[in-house]
Amino acid sequence: MAYENILFDLDGTLTDPYLGITNSVKYALEKFNILENDINKLKLFIGPPLEKSFIEYYQFDKNKAKIAIEYYREYFSEKGIYENKLYDNIENLLNDMKNKNCILATSKPKKFALEILKYFKIDQYFNEIIGSNLDGTLSEKEEIIKYIIEENNLNKTETIMVGDRKYDIIGAHKNNIHSVAVMYGYGSKEELEESKPTYFCKDVMDIIKIIKREHL
């Protein structure tokens, strides 16, 4: 039986937000007189909730991380949100999935996620867009997936999470649904292997075969 409910991560799965996110983090860090000239070091911020990343990678406390997020959003809302691009074949993938129940499941605030989908003209492919709240609540992927399943009364055996970081895969495990780890995003091979997804996928179009279970 094919999967009917497809939960898609955004950053690193549908779009490549490298420049927008790293530039926004760099801008925020500069407000604290932290100069990070090698923005490649900041790609670790792509995927997990921002608060977690500022705390883990720069040892900010919760209050300082909250202020950093406000600075981050100053840049992101004006420039960073558009320093982004769709991965090749994403629109073909979504068009092929138009008869499925596609739902966006992202830790990015819903406000920004919706704007990005509209910017790339792919918002029409999603029946629902679920992201975090601006106050930081509903930001963990485990919570987001649980919320989507419960609010839509989804059959777990027909539901699958597609993402590029361990947070997507772990969140799927904790909600007892299957998962696809895409290898073209920002999760390392080691990170994704350790999180034990149901499937690995190297190419965007291969996601279709997995969802339709044509590979079995």
**Residues labelled catalytic:** 9
Contacts of range 107-113, beta carbons closer than 8 Å, 24 or more positions apart:
107/47, 107/48, 107/49, 107/131, 107/132, 107/139, 107/140, 107/141, 107/144, 107/167, 108/10, 108/11, 108/132, 109/133, 109/134, 112/76, 112/77, 112/81, 113/10
Hey, what are 92's tokens? 């073909």
- The C-alpha atoms of residue 76 and residue 212 are separated, in whole angstroms, by 36
